[in-house]
């Protein structure tokens, strides 16, 4: 079965220690969170297992819980389990805000009501732009060849002038 990822018609793996990139995970794109001995390879199933939401909902999840590494505050006192429950029940931030009157318990409803702007701003800040023109084609980045086998990625990038 063919997989089509970020790179057009090929499967892709994004390597980064930034979990903001988990929003890119889909059936053909995995993210390898490089954290030394605690590194994790994320696919759709591992994102759902770890966070309780599908990868496409990671933006909403982080908008609610915050992201200290990017200095984005979440809803005070609202953790991952509550965020996942809200997303499962209402869908996304916009739907959560629109349907706040039906949210229980009352304290959670009040937090959401008082923080519409924060939630919407967080979502905007966390969402990765996928429509930025790059000015090159994927084939321009081809560095395949026996001279690169066994080298670290950083060495290949440096030897080909990308760094």
Tokens of 105: 């318990």
For residues 13 and 48, give the distance between their C-alpha atoms in angstroms, rounded to a whole number: 18
- In the structure, what pLDDT confidence band is assigned to residue 5 with cuts at 50, 70 and 90? low
Phi and psi at 15, nearest 5°, equal -110, 120
The full set of domains in the chain, from first to last, is 1-51 (no CATH), 56-127 (1.10.150.20)
End-to-end CA distance of the chain: 35
In the block, which residue shows the tokens 């199933």? Answer: 45
Average pLDDT, integer, range 142-153 = 69
Which pLDDT belongs to residue 34? 83
- Give strand pairing partners of 14: 31
pTM: 0.81
Count of residues in the chain? 163
User: pLDDT per residue over 28-49, tens digit each?
Assistant: 999 999 888 888 999 999 999 9
Q: How confident is the model at residue 93 (pLDDT cuts 50, 70, 90)?
A: very high
What is the model's pLDDT at position 106? 97
pLDDT score, position 158? 76
């Amino acid at each position: 079965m063919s997989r089509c990822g970020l790179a057009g018609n090929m499967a892709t793996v994004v390597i980064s220690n930034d979990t903001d990139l988990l929003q890119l995970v889909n059936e053909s794109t995995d993210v390898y969170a490089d954290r030394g001995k605690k590194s994790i390879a994320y696919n759709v199933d591992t994102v759902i297992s770890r966070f309780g939401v599908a990868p496409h909902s990671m933006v909403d999840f982080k908008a609610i819980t915050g992201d200290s590494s990017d200095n984005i505050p979440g809803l005070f006192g609202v953790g991952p389990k509550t965020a996942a429950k809200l997303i499962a029940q209402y869908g996304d931030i916009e739907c959560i805000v629109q349907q706040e009157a039906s949210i229980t318990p009352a304290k959670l409803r009040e937090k959401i009501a008082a923080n519409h702007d924060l939630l919407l701003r967080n979502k905007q800040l966390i969402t990765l732009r996928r429509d930025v023109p790059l000015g090159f084609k994927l084939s321009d980045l081809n560095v395949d060849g026996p001279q690169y086998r066994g080298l670290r990625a950083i060495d290949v990038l440096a030897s080909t002038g990308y760094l």
